[in-house]
Amino acid sequence: MLKFNLLGGGVRCSALVLTLGAACLACMPGPGMAQDEAPADKIRVLIIDGQNNHNWKETTRATRETLIACGRFEVDVATSPANRGAEDEWAAWRPSFKRYDVVFSNYNDGGRCLWSEQTKQDLVDFVAGGGGLAIVHAANNSSGDWPEYNRMIGVGGWGGRTPAHGSHLRRVKGVWTTDPAPDGGSGSHGPQHAFVVESAGVSHPITDGLPERWLHAKDELYDSLRGPCKEVTVLASAFCPKTKRHEPMVMTVSYGAGRVFHTPMGHVGGSDPVHCVGFQAVVARGTEWAATGVVTLPVPEAFPTAEATSVVAPSKVKWKRP
């Protein structure tokens, strides 16, 4: 097993050190989870929404359904003020992140973070202190003006991001590295289409047991994301017909003692992408890993193959082992 961690601009390959690191992480209980508690205890998830250029109500509903249906989570939602100009409301908006094991962002402020400095610091302290953060689709468009957010998500798109915000992640001869691409973009996608998600060959609890290649249902394929790229591990990618390159599709980021799971998949504009069994599996397992450092959820039945998509409503997904 060889893992590639991107630290700053360089690539470090140290199977021994990183394997030991992974073993330690696997032993670490999530915040609020005592070491002797059974893994069957529900993981507490806080979905953040309220601002997005997507139908965030529909995304929250679909996310909630998937997380509840797999039986591993209990889910609360913190909805931000609707009015961007209501300064009093924003000053008072302070979700209690520390009451949860993982914060799941379905939140996109378009690039200018409206949170109070205290609320920003609360999230930083929560993740740095060992909490989990899940970043899905347009959540990586958010808060381009907040350096610590960019650090936590590894890479992001749009939201005022420029080459000054960091590099692209690039797969060169099978190895993930960084490319500053000073003349390149900072977030883009072509027409929606089904695409193959391909394992990066890294053993990780989120993706272990998943097929090496599986066909994700019609979705936006984000390309040219950029950011600090610090302590990012790419677990899976997809070939982008537009850039003629592989773009990261499943990532993890280490931030202090915390774990970040990030997938750019999951555009809501029809049920296909978010009801793709592969997407649901990655989201549920990624959220579990971000919360606890381990994955107990099995690979659901009817997982897509390399040739065929599989779209199933969350309540009909079979998570139990046969």
- Interface contacts to Zn ion, rule CB under 5 A: 220, 267
Nearer to Zn ion, 53 or 96 (CB): 53
Nearer to Zn ion, 134 or 297 (CB): 134
DSSP class per residue in 234-281: EEEEEEETTTTEEEEEEEEEEETTEEEEEE-----SSSHHHHBHHHHH
Nearer to Zn ion, 188 or 292 (CB): 188
List, in order, residues 6 or more apart from 173 with CB less than 8 Å away. Answer: none
Structure tokens at 42: 């529900």
DSSP class per residue in 145-171: T-HHHHHHHS-B-STT--GGG-BEEEE
Least separation in angstroms between residue 269's CB and Zn ion is: 7
The residue behind tokens 């980021």 is 253
Nearer to Zn ion, 53 or 118 (CB): 53
In this structure, the number of other CB atoms found within 10 A of the CB of residue 153 comes to 24
Nearer to Zn ion, 161 or 267 (CB): 267
Least separation in angstroms between residue 141's CB and Zn ion is: 9
The continuous run of DSSP H or E covering 202 comes out as none
Least separation in angstroms between residue 219's CB and Zn ion is: 8
Measure the CA–CA gap between 285 and 215, rounded to whole angstroms: 18
Residue closest to Zn ion (Cβ): 267
**Minimal CA–CA distance to 269: which of 82, 137, 104?**
137
The pair phi, psi for residue 168, each rounded to 5°, is: -85, 155
The 8-class DSSP code of residue 40 comes to T
The pair phi, psi for residue 179, each rounded to 5°, is: -135, 115
Least separation in angstroms between residue 225's CB and Zn ion is: 13
Least separation in angstroms between residue 204's CB and Zn ion is: 25
Measure the CA–CA gap between 286 and 302, rounded to whole angstroms: 19
Supply angle C-alpha 234, 236, 237, rounded to 5. Answer: 100
Least separation in angstroms between residue 137's CB and Zn ion is: 6
Nearer to Zn ion, 5 or 188 (CB): 188
Nearer to Zn ion, 161 or 230 (CB): 161
Least separation in angstroms between residue 268's CB and Zn ion is: 7
Least separation in angstroms between residue 249's CB and Zn ion is: 14
**Minimal CA–CA distance to 107: which of 171, 50, 63, 65?**
50
Nearer to Zn ion, 44 or 137 (CB): 137
